[in-house]
Amino acid sequence: MTRPLHIADEVRAVAPGFGHLAVEAYGLTNGPSDAASSDLLDAAARRLAERLDGRAPHEDPHIAAWRAAYTAFGCKPSRTRNSAEALARRALADGGLPRINRLVDLYNAISVAHLVPVGGEDLDRIQGDMRLVRATGDEPFVTAAGGAEVIEHPEPGEVVWCDDEGVTCRRWNWRQGVRTRLTEDSGSALFLLERMAPMPLDALRTAGAELAEALEKACPDARIEIGEVRGH
């Protein structure tokens, strides 16, 4: 793996059961959502429904653990949901999952199927190392409002992913910034899978392997690197 990921001790203190797995991909070919990516999302929604068996997503032990972690850093999890819970709710709703582009559809499908937060960042847009820290409140976060880019700032103490230029994802994995998101022109990507105990580390590896397999199928000429699981 070529992109170092640093987890601050102050974050580990908030959530000692946190673990993550990085998958790097080079030589990708992205584009608009198509039948294949749409089928992946539909299949993932069916797998989720079977897993939950009538329960709400927040009743799953893994999502409950994420809610506890959000509460620990001062965020209301019923108002600001982690990405896996938010996607799961959409998957079960009448409108179903959104179609964004081929690569985003692919990692969203893995997130829903395994009920695990998965993020995708454009490696060519990341500046320096990636770090998971508690924000000071001064860091810039580029988002979009009304079709225009807007700079916001996280709340002090909020858990954020950031690089040398600013925040790439607010409230752990709640909202991704526009600067590093995967677009139809992206050719290299960092996919980050995040877990809380009690999700077994082997289950995180399984999700990562399925992501790599799906990437290889969608982009046969791509080079995929799966990192080591980090966590306890």
Total-model pTM: 0.96
Angle at 105 between CA 38 and CA 222, to 5 degrees: 110
How confident is the model over 9-18, as pLDDT tens digits? 999 999 999 9
Q: Per-residue pLDDT averaged across 31-53, rounded?
A: 98
200: region left, alpha or beta (phi > 0 left; psi from -120 to 50 alpha): beta
Query: Which DSSP helix (H) or strand (E) runs through 42?
Result: helix 35-52
b/e map 105-143, b = 16+ CB within 10 Å: bbbbbbbbbbbbbbbbbbbebbeeebbbbbbeeebebbe
Q: Per-residue pLDDT averaged across 102-111, rounded?
A: 98
How confident is the model over 164-198, as pLDDT tens digits? 999 999 999 999 999 999 999 999 999 999 999 99
